[in-house]
Structure 1
Amino acid sequence: MPLDIVTVPCLSDNYAYLVHGPDGTALIDAPEAGPIIDALEARGWTLGVIMLTHHHHDHVGGVAELREKYGCMVMGPKAEAAKLPKLDMALDPGFSGGTGEGLCEVISVPGHTLGHVAYHYPQAKAVFTADSLMALGCGRIFEGTPEMMWESLEKLASLPPETVVYSGHEYTSSNAAFALTIEPQNEALISRAAEIDAARAMGRPTAQVPLSVELDTNPFLRAPLDSVKKAVGLPGGTDAEVFAEVRKRKDNF
């Protein structure tokens, strides 16, 4: 049974994801309950488990209402258990569970927060990255260090290129505008930016994209390239140093 993945817009620019497969229906992050309930009821699904990526309120704000309505389990990173809603299962990096395309692996991706995790479905070629790797960007470094975030991005960048990245926010338009300040001659980026503008004009989400596209266009993943190192004035810099400079520029963009 293939996974049916449903993108659920929440709040002003968040995304939650329903993952319906052989083991039932899971929810990746719960920014608010209403749109998620509507999406479930429209499909006749019931919610079996909520899987949280990190503790920020815009990813957990709907947990209490959803748990009360569906009696579902709540899982999340053990490293952030004290900051999360009560967990029925605290997850360590490396944990895996599920069957067939529903097989899910927990990946540690600290930086945005210290315990942030991503959920990788290798057989379904999908990874849910929330505020670690984002479409044409990455999350702000609130709790970790640039070196920590760079290691997390390297880990995600090493997944099979056909893996679809499902990130947590619709920041793609602003991320594209920034990316063009780093690589204004990148033809793939120029084309992608135009596609994003067209999609957003029609109200379509753009934060769900194959990793191969990110590798060709996301300046944060492209820190190892000599052209990017030169563009930020660090021709001899390490990959982590170049990433840190790109992140600094984005913070001030």
Structure 2
Amino acid sequence: MSDLEIEQFMCRSDNFGVLVHDPETGLTAAIDAPDGQPILDVLARRGWSLSHVFLTHHHADHTAGLAVLQDKFQPRLIGPRLSMDKVPGIDLPVSEGNVIEWSGRDINVLETPGHTLDHVVYWFSDDQIVFAGDTLFALGCGRVFEGDYAMMWESLEKLGALPDATRLYCGHEYTLANARFALSVDPDNAQLKQRAEDVARLRRDDLPTLPSTIGLERQTNPFLRASEQDLKQALGMESESAESVFTHLRKAKDKA
């Protein structure tokens, strides 16, 4: 099994476009479709033909490019079963526990509702890569729009349970703002302080802050650390449940 080639690039104002290419089979998948033209441009530059799109959820900034890509390549569209009434043309609807065979690999589907009710992520277990959409960000997590806080915390726990070495790709370049908030609630975390410096340097050089790893997020992302006693103490919430701590953090971030 050959190593995957992953091309990450900016779409719209702060969305990431991601293309995943298997040089052995020639298959190429897009993770979501924020904007058609930038994706077409990268495909042309790399000489790749789009065979699949993996859709994480129905929001327009993740689906706006679908029509252009479908017109040009007719890729197989894989998306959440709960998106079928919102996104036309899903060829393979998926839900929790489904395993998709793609390019000789097993792609595991995890339902992660909270940001939206239909949200799924794709865990390429053979390659230890997860494409988390708008559920988990570097040093952050998605806003809770359609679900509730309990639902979102359960989704984050699911992602936090993946192997530490799992590389994390997500839908937006929000890391600099996330780092500022993380430091405000977890100021004594030495690993977070170092990471915030690294993030600031990358953004000064106009470089992406992703991919991250699940292990790094578990150490530095306050939304994944809601069950940890040192963070609870920093927040004065020692006796509170992890779900309560997460809810407090997410509401505070909404106001930041």
Pairing partner for 1:53 from 52, 56, 68 = 56
Q: 2:94: which partner in 1? A: 91
Pairing partner for 1:123 from 120, 123, 126 = 126
Q: 2:191: which partner in 1? A: 188
CA distance in 2, matches of 1:185, 1:71: 51
Local SS of the residue matching 2:132: strand
Query: Is 1:209–2:204 an aligned residue pair?
Result: no
Change (3 A) 1:39 1:100: closer
User: Does the CA contact (< 8 Å) of 2:95 and 2:120 recur in 1?
Assistant: no
User: Does the CA contact (< 8 Å) of 1:232 and 1:245 recur in 2?
Assistant: no
Residues 78-122 of structure 1: per-residue CA shift (max 9 Å, x gap): 012111232111112211122577321111000000010000001
Please report the TM-score for the alignment, with normalisation by the length of structure 1: 0.97
CA distance in 2, matches of 1:187, 1:245: 22
CA-based RMSD: 1.2
Structure 1 runs (4+) deviating above 4 angstroms are none
Q: How many residues align?
A: 253
User: Does the CA contact (< 8 Å) of 2:56 and 2:119 recur in 1?
Assistant: yes
User: Shift of residue 207 of structure 1?
Assistant: 3.1
Identity of aligned residues (%): 43
Q: 1:165: which partner in 2? A: 168
Q: 2:36: which partner in 1? A: 33
Local SS of the residue matching 1:212: helix
Q: 1:140: which partner in 2? A: 143
Local SS of the residue matching 1:9: strand
Pairing partner for 2:80 from 61, 74, 77 = 77
Please report the TM-score for the alignment, with normalisation by the length of structure 2: 0.96
Gaps of 5+ in 1: none
Tell which deviates more after alignment, 54-63 or 16-25.
16-25
Matching residue's letter, 1:12: S
Q: 1:16: which partner in 2? A: 17
Matching residue's letter, 1:185: D
Local SS of the residue matching 2:203: helix
